[in-house]
Amino acid sequence: MLKTYPKTAYVRSTALMKAYRTIPCQNCGRDDGTVCGAHSNWAEHGKGRGIKASDDKCASLCFACHTALDQGPASGELKRDMWERAHAKTQEALIAKSWGDWRLRDLLKKIGWVTA
């Protein structure tokens, strides 16, 4: 049976994509200059044929972890578990970092990650 998902209100933010690069990989801890925002690969986050998920549905991952997520041999369940843990850690790390950076704090307010 085909699953249906409500229409996604996409967040597209260059500043948020840059912020993902400012913290280490939230899967392995690597901070080697290859970390970027790895978008969710799941439809409920807005992923579709020819369109990436919303920019607020990313995890900060290094090249090796991002490649393993997108092309590795692990099961879909293991990949999803890795991404969800890394996404939660990414949110926590950026929220903590935002206490010292008002621009980042304002951005996180706009996407609904923080309220105050």
Amino acid at 54: S
pLDDT at 4 over 80: no
> Between 63-71 and 76-98, two packed helices, what is the crossing angle to 10 degrees?
140
pLDDT for the residue 33 = 96
Which tens digit of pLDDT belongs to each residue from 13-46? 999 999 999 999 999 999 999 999 999 999 888 7
Are 23 and 12 within 8 A, CB to CB?
Answer: no
Tokens of 62: 């290094």
Our CA dihedral for 10, 95, 67, 1, rounded to 10 degrees, sits at -40
pLDDT confidence tier of residue 5, bands split at 50, 70 and 90: low
Domain range summary for the chain, segments of one domain joined by +: 16-110
Partners of 38 in beta bridges: 59
